[in-house]
Chain A
Amino acid sequence: MKKADMVLVAVVILAAAISLFLGQFLKREGTFATVSVDGSVVAEYALDEDGTYAIKGADGGVNILVIEDGKAFLSEADCPDKLCVKQGSISKVGGSIICLPHKVVIEITGEGEKIQIDAVTQ
Chain B
Amino acid sequence: MQLHNKPKKIAYYGLLIAVAFVLSYLESLIPAFVAVPGVKLGLTNLVVLIALEYFGYKEAFVINMIRILLVGLTFGNGFSLIYSFAGGILSFVMMVLLKKTGKFSLSGISVSGGVSHNLAQILVAAVILQSHALFYYLPVLLISGTVAGLVIGLISAEILKRLPKTF
A interface residues with partner B (beta carbon < 8 Å) = 1-5, 8-9, 12-13, 15-17, 19-20, 23, 36, 38-40, 81, 83, 86-88, 94-96, 98, 100-101, 103, 105, 107
CB distance from A75 to the nearest CB of B (A): 14
Stretch of B50-58, B85-93, B128-136 contacting A (4+ beta carbons < 8 Å)? B128-136
Most chain A C-beta atoms within 10 Å of own C-beta, residue among B36, B98, B139, B143? B139
In the complex, how many angstroms separate the beta carbon of A40 from the nearest chain B beta carbon?
8
Residue contacts A-B, CB under 8 angstroms, 14 given: A2-B105, A4-B101, A4-B104, A8-B111, A16-B139, A19-B138, A23-B135, A39-B129, A83-B32, A83-B35, A86-B35, A98-B125, A105-B131, A107-B131
B35 A5 Cβ-Cβ under 8 A:
no
- B142 and A15 contacting across the interface, CB-CB below 8 Å: yes
A8 touches B112 (CB 8 A): yes
Chain B at the A interface: SS class: helix
Contact B111 A9 (CB under 8 A): yes
Name the CB-closest residue of B to A80. Answer: B77
Partner of B107, one of A1, A15, A96: A1
Q: Which 9 A-B pairs have the closest CB atoms?
A: A5-B108, A96-B133, A39-B130, A86-B35, A20-B139, A16-B142, A4-B103, A19-B138, A16-B139
A1 and B129 contact, Cβ closer than 8 Å, known pairs A13-B146, A86-B35: no
Partner of B129, one of A8, A16, A103: A103
**B103 engages A19 (CB within 8 Å):** no
A21 to B134, CA, bound (A): 15
